[in-house]
Structures are given as C-alpha cells and as structure tokens.
Amino acid sequence: MKIIFLKSVSANALIRVAFIILFLITTGTNLLAKREKHSYITLNTNVGEITLRLYNQTPLHRDNFVKLAKGRFFDGILFHRVIDNFMIQGGDPESKAKESGKLYGNGGPGYDLPAEIVPGLYHKRGVVASAREGDSVNPERKSSGSQFYIVKGKVFDDEGLITVENRINTRNVANNIHEKHIIPDEWKKIYKTIGGTPHLDTQYTVFGEVVSGYEVVDKISAFPTDSNDRPVTDVIILSVKVKKSRKLK
C-alpha cells in the first residue's frame, strides 16, 4: 500500500509540474504576442550610423519610410540642410547628384502623406519628423513623401517656452485652429533639460526617434555650412538597413 501511495503522489506531483510549465509557456507566449513589434531603421552615413525606431502611432509615415528604405530610395541621398542646435534634414532624391553648391530640398517621391500629428508625440531631442511645405500653400500640413529631419534642438527656460506657446497659437489661429496649445509639464521638463524644438509641436508629424547614434547627429549638426545651410562637406546616407523587433532598444 505504501508503494502504491508513493507512486500516486509522484504522479500527481508530475501533473502539477506539467500544469505549471504549461501555464508559464502560455503566459509567456501571450505576453510576447501582446508586445508590439517596432520597425528599426539604421542609416549608415559617411559620418557614422544612426538607428531610428519608428512609432506605431503613425502607421502611414512608418510604413512609407520602411517602404522607401527597403527600396533603397535613401541610398546616396544627402543630409542637405543642417542647422546647429536645430535639426538635420535629408530625403531629397535630387541630392544624389551632389552638385557642388546647389540648393536641394524640393525633391521627393512624387506624393505627399496626410498629416499624422498625434497628441503626445512632441519635438524632444532625437525625434524624427517629416518636412513639409508651409501653411500658406499646405494648410492641411501634409508631409513630404520622403524628406525628414532629426531634431538636435536646444535647452529652453520658462520664458522661452512661454514665447514658444504664443508662437504656436498664433500660427494655429492663422490656420483656423483655435484650440489653445499649452505645453504639458512633462514636456517642459524635457525641453528644460534634454532640449528640443518645441515651436514645431502640433505643426509637423513626428514619427520616430533616435535610439542609437546621437553622437553622429551631434557631429553632423556641427558641420560647417554654406548660405543655404548645406554642409560644405557632403554628409551622405550610404545605405539603410530595416529590422523589425519586439525588443525595445
């Protein structure tokens, strides 16, 4: 009887262990399934690599950027507009010609994108956003199909942020947007410590951020430029890699 009892206990224990293992596997699988995949874009430039994570909150811009990257659209394109303590801009296919002294910034893939200006996404240092035509010819604030900028920015104080709020609200009213923009406290902390370009908030579509290679952005931002803000020495996107991952970098 003792032997039979011990075997019974052992079998029950094995069943319990198997159940626990199955529970853990199922739970882990469910957690993995719930964790969003993100698209990562690595820009290999002649100055170094910059890796971007694209936001899932802006699917039109995310998918378009991935499509262009996979199609090698950006290979050979310049960062044609660089302003220190502001941003670095690229994405004009015409810049592949690299004509000395030429002003670039009018080229694109032949289409624009609807704005995806999402509440909560703002112009802190390192974010990626779409360039566009001004409000006077583009009141819907549509994005360029390919041109983008990476924010270098600068640090602001409280007085500077008040000035920014007034500037944004004036521009919005001129574009028939009457909801008053007030910079949230969380954003203010970032703008007063890490920095950014808060005067662009609510105006342009932010669709990603730098996750590695900040030092490369800083280096490009400091390049000497001509009267058109084009670097005197060409900054070239040599190639682009695309990767999808559930792991946040």
Calpha distance 39→246 (Å, rounded): 9
- Residues 130 and 204: beta-carbon distance below 8 Å: yes
Boundaries of every domain in the chain: 35-245
Residue 5 has pLDDT above 70, yes or no: no
pTM: 0.85
Domain covering 35-245 assigned CATH 3.40.50.2300 in the classification: no
Mean pLDDT, rounded, for 206-218: 98
- More confident: 35 or 221: 221
* 170 HSE (CA, 13 A, CB side): 7
Distances in whole angstroms, Cα of residue 151 to Cα of each of 14, 51, 195, 216: 57, 14, 9, 12
Chain centroid offset of residue 55 CA: 6
The per-residue pLDDT of the chain, averaged, comes to: 91
Q: Quick: pLDDT tens for 75-115.
A: 999 999 999 999 999 999 999 999 999 999 999 999 999 99
